[in-house]
Structure 1
């Protein structure tokens, strides 16, 4: 290969890594489960080399764990991880909202309003999956509008672990209604270019997610065990 030869936009192992990452985020690969490498090789008609390289990428991101002589296991957040992670994300996403409120153009605000409109529809029909997916896009867009490469890098790295929870907190009774109300206030602060208010509202929005997650955890811990059928 000569230096003048065009490079491929992505290599095969990067494509495989992107597919595996999506499977982790969508729950097709469950936390704590072992990845069946041979099954994926056969299903995707690839050799084991790009798959193993892709798994090394996900291991570096913290999404999977490579276990010598056993294989590869999907990472699992333990109880204390969310308690530690959400406050940090609240600070980071709050800063994203602060900088986005200062820098967003009219076109940017219109784009956020369109996403917020989709959230309103999903909340009205209590479509948790649709709400979660659009909510991820909305938060990612606010992060991009902050236009701070250091903030973007740090927030993006931690957002991967937030995504592993797949919006579990939205299943807490009343949470989706509370979430959309928080989004309405945040959207208005962004539209008003009120950076301090946007920062505070985004921070509190993330903390409210953690509180709902903890409420779900407590409810599960105190729920009576199912009685086996006779």
Structure 2
């Protein structure tokens, strides 16, 4: 029951008293509102990271980005989608590390879980595999801004990338 309460707190399930639980569903406007809020949060984190980053931390980010770049050569949609989801979380987690704010990272991690849930329940099979190249290009712009200590660009580009998830979720299946 405690696990279900945690899932409910994260917005992934709805507990129905005296009945059980069901997977949470969200209206399109709620999803858009969430990604707007999430984009602002991730943009703030990227802005902080640009001013607090370390060279060692940036080199780690470069390594993760290079792995995403290598994934663009993959032709299997399932491998591309799963690989990107995994590496994307690592990329953003590294930016959280660069921001050096435990409380912000903790709040954001819960939002990441809901984001993944919304993407994976959008009804589109392997939604991220078709966006891999564009997402990697977005990451490269953000990465360069972090290296240049350009907090405004890091923030703006991160917000744009996160909001771009809505377009991916609306894309018809290929």
- Bin the TM-score by the shorter chain: 0.7 to 0.9
1:143-175: CA deviation from partner (whole Å, max 9, x where unpaired): 232122443243223222101034668737852
1:134 aligns with 2:87: yes
SS for the counterpart of 2:118 is coil
- Structure-1 separation of matches of 2:116 and 2:41: 15
- The correspondence for 1:201, drawn from 157, 163, 167, is 157
Q: What pairs up with 1:116-127 in 2 under 5 angstroms?
A: 116-126=65-75, 127=80
Seen in structure 2, the aligned counterparts of structure 1 residues 130 and 166 have a Cα distance that, compared at 3 Å, is farther
Structure 1: state its 5+ residue gaps: 1-51, 221-230
Is contact 1:55–1:64 with CA below 8 Å preserved after alignment? yes
Q: Which runs of 5+ in 2 are unaligned?
A: none
Candidates 63, 70, 74, aligned match of 1:114: 63
Change (3 A) 1:121 1:75: same
Contact preservation (8 Å) 1:89, 1:206: yes
1:95-124 deviation line (CA, Å, top 9, x unaligned): 111111111111100110111111111122
For 1:172 and 1:152, locate their aligned partners in 2 and report how far apart those are by CA, in whole Å. 23
What is the RMSD of the two structures over their aligned residues, measured on CA atoms? 2.3
Give the TM-score normalised by structure 2: 0.83
Question: 2:96 corresponds to which residue?
Answer: 143
State the distance in 1 between where 2:9 and 2:37 align.
Answer: 20
Query: TM-score, normalised on structure 1?
Result: 0.64
Bigger fraction of residues in helix? 2
